[in-house]
Amino acid sequence: MLIGHYFVKLTAKGRLAIPSKFRREIGNKAIVTRFYEKCLVLVGLSRWENLMTKLTNKSEFITEPMRDVERFILGSAFEVDMDSQGRFVVPQVLRGYANIGDEVVFLGLGDRAEIWNKKEWEKRESKIEEFALESLANREEGRKIGD
């Protein structure tokens, strides 16, 4: 299971080193693609189909919004190979989409890792923290968010 967050540097050749704790889970081949909130997602090849099943209910592909989800994720997906040091090249088009610069955050989310521009992640993390604290406070008071 992929958990935790790790800070890494993008090399001059556009490579990222997968955090060592993620390497066994992800394996030597993976899929990297754009994802929600202007981040990337990295999934081991063996888990890719399971993730796509979770994200896109195949019976709903007759709807335009579900086809657009498929286009958004699959249409920008790349299969990547890891080198002996657990590094892979992030395609330029994906670096542009997620504004990937020198400093990058890998975020483990169980079956996948999100890849964020460090500054963008810090902004997002602040929002998440605020929401989580509000949710916990409301839960303790027995209220639902938005009540």
- Say if CB 115 and CB 106 are below 8 A apart: yes
Domain-by-domain residue ranges, the chain?
Answer: 2-118
pLDDT in tens, 111-126: 999 999 999 999 999 9
Please state the pTM of the whole predicted model: 0.85
Which architecture, in CATH terms, is 2-118?
A: 3-Layer(aba) Sandwich (3.40)
Report the interhelical angle of 45-55 vs 64-74 (nearest 10°).
Answer: 160
The Cβ of residue 83 has, within 10 Å, a number of other Cβ atoms equal to 11
86 phi-psi bin (left φ>0, alpha ψ -120 to 50, beta other):
left
- Say if CB 113 and CB 41 are below 8 A apart: yes
141 DSSP 8-state letter: T
pLDDT in tens, 54-109: 776 666 557 888 778 888 988 999 999 999 999 999 999 999 999 999 999 999 99
